[in-house]
Amino acid sequence: MSIMFGNGKGQLCLLTSLAILIWSSLSFADVLSLKQAIDTAREVNPDIRSLQNQFESAQAKTRQSLAPTEPTASITYNDLDKAFNVPNSGSTVYQINQPLAFPGKAWVNHASLGHQAQSIYYQLKAKELDVANTVKGAYFGLALAQKNIELNSETKASYERIMATARRRYETGAITQVDLLNAEIALYSNLNDLADLETAEKTARAQLNNFLGKPSEAPTQVQSMDQIRRTNHPHMSLTEAQDKMVQNRPEIKSAVELTEAADKTYSLAKMSLLPDFQLTAGTTNYNLLAASPIGSVTPQTQTWMVGIQATIPLWGFFNERETIRGASHDKAAAEANLSSLHLQSNIALESALENLNALNKKILNYEDHLLDLSEQALKIALVSYSSGKIDFQTLSDTATARRQIRHDYYGLIINYLTSYSAYGQLIGEELQ
C-alpha cells in the first residue's frame, strides 16, 4: 500500500524536506556537547584515576590506623629431664602479650592520616576542575576555528561581489586593469587564508580528541559559535570573589588539610617521649606436684600470672629529638606554603577579574557599535565604488576591516569564555 500526496513535484519537495530533517537530526545527534566532552575527558584522564586511587588508599590507611597491635602468644615447656623431652616437662607455661601505645597516640595518628586523605581528595577536585578548564579551552578553540572558516567563506562572497563590480567597471572603462588585478589578488589571498584556517581547525580538533582519548583524526563535532552563548555577567566584586576562593578553591583547602596533618604529625612526634605499654597474662600448669612452688602447702597444679610492662623512653632526648625537630619544620613549611598559596591566588584572582571586566567592555563595544558599523561601511563602500565615488583601495580596506572586526569579535568571545572558566577554577566553581 502506498500513500500519495499531491503531484510529483509536491512529492519530491516532501521527500526532500524529510531527508533534510532526518539529516539534521542525525547531524545534531553527532554533535558533542561541552558537558559530554568534560565528562569523557574526566573518565579517561590518567591523573584523575591516579588521584582517585591515592585517595581510596589514603582512606584505607586512615581506617587501619586505629587497628590494635597484634598480640603474641607463647607456650613454654620447663624442667625437662632431658634435652627437648617435652612429654616429661615439669611445667607448661601459656602466655599472651598485648602491646598498647600510650593512650591518644592512635587517635592523633588517625587524625593526621585523615587530613592527608582529605588533602588528596581536594587535589582530586582541583584536577577535575583543571581538566574541565583545559577541555573548555580546546572545545572553544575548535568552535572558533570552525567559525573562522565560516567567516572566510563570507569574506570570499564579499570579494567575489567586489570582483564582479570591478569587472563591470573595467569593461566600461571606469577603472584601470590594476584595480581588476587587485580584486583578483584579494580573492586569491583569501583562498590562501582558508588553507591556514583549515590547518588550524585540524590542529584544534586533534587537541580536543587527545583530551577525549580519541584518535587525532576522529571526526569530533562541537557546537557552533552561534550555539555557544556568552552570558553578560555583571561587574564582579573582588571581595566577594576572594571570599568564594578561600571557602571553595580545592588547592587552598588541600593546603589547609596538609597544614592540619603536619600539626598532628608534630603532636605525634612529641608523644614519642611518652611510654608505651605491654599487658601480659598467662598460666602455668605443673605436671609434677613437687614442681609447684605452693604444692607443699596446698595441692595445686596450676598458677596464674598477670603483668604490665612500660617502655620508658630513657634515651628519647637522643632518639626522638631530631624527629620532633623535623616535624616542627614540616609544620612551619606547610603553614608557609598555605600563606604563599593565598598570596598567589589573590594576585591571580585580581588579574582574572580585571581581564574579564576588560573583555566584557570590549565585547559590548563590538556588539553595540563596531559590528553594525563595519557591516554598514561595507555596504556603502560597495555602492560608492560602483558609482565611482571611492577608489578600489578604499573598498578593499573596508572589506578587510569588516573581516578583521568579525574575526576579533569571535576571538574575544572565546577569550572571555576561557577566562571565565579560569576564574571559576580560582574560586573553586565549575562555571558555565
- How far is it, in rounded angstroms, from Cα 5 to Cα 83? 112
Q: What is the pLDDT of residue 265?
A: 95
pLDDT at 11 over 60: no
Question: Where does 50-161 show beta strands of DSSP type E?
Answer: 72-78, 91-100
Q: What is the pLDDT of residue 231?
A: 66
Q: What are phi and psi of 359, to 5 degrees?
A: -65, -40
Beta strand 31-32 with 221-222 is parallel
167 and 129 Cβ atoms separated by less than 8 Å: no
Cβ-based neighbour number of residue 336 at 10 Å: 11
Residue 310's nearest CA partner among 274, 281, 276, 279 is: 276
Question: How does pLDDT run across 161-190, given as a tens digit for each residue?
Answer: 888 888 888 888 887 788 888 888 888 887
16: which residues sit within 8 A by CB, 6+ positions away?
none
DSSP string of 48-75, one letter each residue: HHHHHHHHHHHHHHHHHTTSPPPPEEEE
Instruction: Compute the residue count for the chain.
Output: 432
pLDDT band per the 50, 70, 90 thresholds, residue 271: very high
DSSP string of 159-184, one letter each residue: HHHHHHHHHHHHHTTSS-HHHHHHHH
- How far is it, in rounded angstroms, from Cα 422 to Cα 137? 10
Q: What is the pLDDT of residue 9?
A: 42
CA 360: distance to chain centroid? 25
Q: What is the pLDDT of residue 17?
A: 47
Question: How does pLDDT run across 324-357, given as a tens digit for each residue?
Answer: 999 999 999 999 999 999 999 999 999 999 998 8
Q: What is the pLDDT of residue 297?
A: 59
Question: How does pLDDT run across 104-141, given as a tens digit for each residue?
Answer: 999 999 999 999 999 999 999 999 999 999 999 999 99
DSSP string of 353-414, one letter each residue: HHHHHHHHHHHHHIIIIIHHHHHHHHHHHHHHHHTTSS-HHHHHHHHHHHHHHHHHHHHHHH
Q: Which cell is 348 given? A: 591571580
